[in-house]
Amino acid sequence: MIAKLIQKNSPLNQSDKINQLLVILPKQDKLLGKNLNQCSFYGKDTLEALLLRRKMKSVEICGDPVSANLENGSLCAWVMVDLKEPVFEQQACIRKALKLLLDEGPKVLQISIYGNAKEKRKLAELAVFVTWVNGAMLPSRKTNKKKPFRNELAKIILHGYKDASGFTLLRSKAEGNILSRELTVLPPNELTPDLYCSRIKKLAKSEGWKYEKYDLKKLRKMGAGAFVAVAQGSDSEDAGIVHLQRRVKGSDKTVALVGKGICFDTGGHNLKPARYMYGMHEDMNGSAVALGLFLAASRANLDVNIDCWLAIAQNHIGPRAYKQNDVVTALNGDTIEIINTDAEGRMVLADTLSLATKKNPDVMIDFATLTGTMWVALGSRYSGVFSNSDNLTKQAVDSGKLCGERVSAFPMDLDYKIALKSTIADIKQCSMEPEADHILAALFLSRFVGKTPWVHMDLSASRNTGGLGAVGSDVTGFGVGWGLQMIQTILKNR
Ligand code: BES
Ligand code: ZN
Ligand code: ZN
C-alpha cells in the first residue's frame, strides 16, 4: 500500500515535535553563500552549526544532503534542490536526502517545503513522488523481518504546500512504478506464466479492465508460430498473450502498450552460462512496465483508450524446445530462420506486435529487456529507444528529460538489415555476429508493426545497482514514468 498523504498549508513550527523530517529548500541566490541568514526554516540553527563544523558551504547540501539529530529528539535531513538542473538530478538529490530518514524505518514521515509559490509546487511534487516510490517495501522472503529493519511508510505529512488535486497523477505514477518493481523482483518459482496471468486477471477485475488470454492452444490455431516456438520448450502449457483493454467514453486516441514477459530466460538450447542466467527472472520486466504504465494511466484517469498486450512465456531447454536452424512461420505469415534460441524476446514480441497492430492503434509502444548490446552501448542509466516516426523519436527523448527517465534514440536504417538476410527463410531472427544486435532486434520487430506509429524501448535501465533517479532500489521500474509522460505528450499534441 502506498503511504497516505496529509497536506498542511502552514509551515512547520520549530516547536512542533516530530520524529523524521525532510526539509526541502530551493537553491536560490539568497540561499547562496556562506550563511542562510535571510530565510528561516526548521532546524536552521542545527544545520548552520553542522555546516560550520564540517567547513561546508550551504550550497553543498545541493548534491550532498545532510542530516542531524535536533535537541528535541527528531532526526532532520536538509536538502537544497536546483530547479534549473535536469529533473533526473533533482529526483536523485531528494532520494538521497530521504534515504537518510527512511533508514530509520519510520511509519510516518514529515516533509517541510520552502520557497516561493512556484518553487514550492515543484519541490512538493518532487518530494511526494520520491517518498511514495521509496516508502513502499518490495517483496522479501527473509524470515527475520527485523534484519534489515524497515517499516513500510504509512503516512506522509506535507507542510507548506497544499495541492487541490491531491497529487492524483503522481500517486498513479508511483503506484505503477511500484507494481512494475514488485512483479520484477518476485522469484521465478512464484511468478510462472500461470501465476503471473492469475495476478493480472485479479488486478484486471479490481480495476475494471477487460482481460483476455490468448493461450497456447489458441495461438497455435491462429498460426502464431514465432510465439509458440519459444513457448513449446516449457512443459507447462501456461504461456500466452494477455490482452487488457481500457476504454474511455468519448476519447479519440488509442495507445497500444506491448511488453516482453519472459518469466525466466535460460537461453534455451543456446544455454546461458550461470553468470548470465542469474537474474533472468527479471526478463519479464518489459511486461511489468507495460502493466504498471497501464495501471498508472488508468488511475490517473487519462483521456485515452489503451490496449495492453503482454507476451508471457519462459525460455526453456528441453526435448520439444525450438532449436537453431528451425524455420517457423509468424502470425503475419513471414518465415523466420532461428539463429540463436537466446534471442527469444523478439520472437514472442513479433506475434504480439502483429496482434496489437491488427487493432490499428494511433501509437504503439513496446517495452523489453531485449538485448545485451543495448546495455553494452548505454550502461544501465539510460534506456534506448527506436521509432519509425521522427516526431515520436523527438517526443520520446523530450519525455525522458521531463520525467527523469532518460532515453537515447538509436538508428534503424534499413541497410543494417543485410545482416538479417536468410538463404532459407524471409528473415533471420538475429545475426550470428554480435555487432549492433539492439539495432538488428529493433529492425526485426519493425517488420511486424506495419505502418503503425511505433516506439520500441530496449530497457537497459531496468536494473541499476544503487537505484536510478527517483528510485532507490536496484530494480528501477524504468519506463512507467516515461510512458506516462509520453502518453500525456501524445494527448497534448493531438
Ligand atoms: N533477455 C536477454 C537480453 C538481456 C541480457 C537483457 C542481459 C538484460 C540483461 C535476451 O533474451 C538475450 O538473451 N539476448 C541475446 C541476443 C543474442 C543471442 C542475439 C543477447 O543479448 O545476448
Ligand atoms: Zn534470451
Ligand atoms: Zn530474454
Pair 229, 135 in one domain = no
Pair 161, 177 in one domain = no
Nearest-angstrom CA–CA distance, 125 and 22: 14
On whether the CB atoms of residues 407 and 459 are closer than 8 A, the answer is no
Residue ID of nearest Cα to ligand 1 atom 22: 372
390-403 and 480-492 are packed helices; what angle lies between their axes, rounded to 10 degrees? 120
The DSSP output letter for 84 is T
Nearest-angstrom CA–CA distance, 118 and 121: 5
The DSSP output letter for 18 is -
Any idea what the CATH number is for the domain that residue 134 is in?
3.40.220.10
Pair 115, 184 in one domain = no
Residue ID of nearest Cα to ligand 1 atom 16: 343
Residues of the chain with pLDDT under 50: 31-35
CB-ligand 1 contact for 192 (6 Å cutoff): no
User: What count of residues does the chain have?
Assistant: 494
Listed as own residue / partner, the contacts of 397-402 with beta carbons closer than 8 Å and 24 or more positions apart are 398/489, 399/482, 399/485, 399/486, 399/489, 400/482, 400/485, 401/86, 401/87, 402/87, 402/485
Residue ID of nearest Cα to ligand 1 atom 6: 369
Expressed as residue numbers, the domain containing 149 is: 4-166
Pair 71, 179 in one domain = no
Pair 122, 215 in one domain = no
Query: For 274-311, how does the pLDDT look when each residue is reduced to its tens digit (9 = 90+)?
Result: 999 999 999 999 999 999 999 999 999 999 999 999 99
Of all atoms in ligand 1, which is nearest to the CA of residue 262? 1
Torsion over CA of 169, 174, 177 and 179, rounded to 10 degrees? Answer: -110
What's the half-sphere exposure (Cβ side, CA atoms, 13 Å) at 462? 32
CB-ligand 1 contact for 351 (6 Å cutoff): no
Helix (H) or strand (E) holding 353: helix 345-358
CB-ligand 1 contact for 430 (6 Å cutoff): yes
Sign, CA torsion 210/216/217/222: positive
> Would you state the pLDDT for residue 494?
84
> Would you state the pLDDT for residue 182?
98
CB-ligand 1 contact for 286 (6 Å cutoff): no
Pair 270, 331 in one domain = yes
Query: What's the CA-to-centroid distance between 348 and ligand 3, angstroms?
Result: 10
285-299 and 193-207 are packed helices; what angle lies between their axes, rounded to 10 degrees? 0
CB-ligand 1 contact for 307 (6 Å cutoff): no
CB-ligand 1 contact for 343 (6 Å cutoff): yes
> Would you state the pLDDT for residue 35?
47
Pair 116, 239 in one domain = no
- The domain boundary, picked from 134, 166, 198, lies at 166
Pair 327, 409 in one domain = yes
Among 348, 371, 459, 465, name the best residue to mutate to test ligand 1's pocket (greatest count of ligand atoms within 8 A of Cβ): 371
Of all atoms in ligand 1, which is nearest to the CA of residue 440? 19
Nearest-angstrom CA–CA distance, 188 and 373: 24
Cβ neighbors of 222 (< 8 A, separation 6 or more) are 214, 331
Pair 200, 105 in one domain = no
> Would you state the pLDDT for residue 11?
80
Pair 151, 200 in one domain = no
Query: What's the CA-to-centroid distance between 231 and ligand 1, angstroms?
Result: 17
Pair 382, 446 in one domain = yes
Query: What's the CA-to-centroid distance between 432 and ligand 2, angstroms?
Result: 14
Pair 445, 406 in one domain = yes
Query: For 206-223, how does the pLDDT look when each residue is reduced to its tens digit (9 = 90+)?
Result: 999 999 999 999 999 999
On whether the CB atoms of residues 384 and 460 are closer than 8 A, the answer is yes
> Would you state the pLDDT for residue 147?
63
Q: How many domains does the chain have?
A: 2
Annotated active-site residue 272? The verdict is yes
pTM of the model: 0.97
- The domain boundary, picked from 166, 182, 201, lies at 166
- The domain boundary, picked from 135, 166, 197, lies at 166
Residue ID of nearest Cα to ligand 1 atom 8: 369
CB-ligand 1 contact for 268 (6 Å cutoff): no
Any idea what the CATH number is for the domain that residue 324 is in?
3.40.630.10
Q: Is the omega angle on the peptide bond into residue 193 within 30 degrees of 0, that is, cis?
A: no
CB-ligand 1 contact for 445 (6 Å cutoff): no
Cell 506486435, located at residue:
353
On whether the CB atoms of residues 417 and 426 are closer than 8 A, the answer is no
Give the ranges where 258-334 is alpha helix by DSSP (H).
274-277, 285-299
On whether the CB atoms of residues 348 and 265 are closer than 8 A, the answer is no
Among 370, 380, 438, 464, name the best residue to mutate to test ligand 1's pocket (greatest count of ligand atoms within 8 A of Cβ): 370
Query: What's the CA-to-centroid distance between 234 and ligand 3, angstroms?
Result: 15
Sign, CA torsion 164/170/176/180: negative
> Would you state the pLDDT for residue 64?
87
On whether the CB atoms of residues 440 and 420 are closer than 8 A, the answer is yes
Catalytic residue among 44, 272, 299, 381: 272
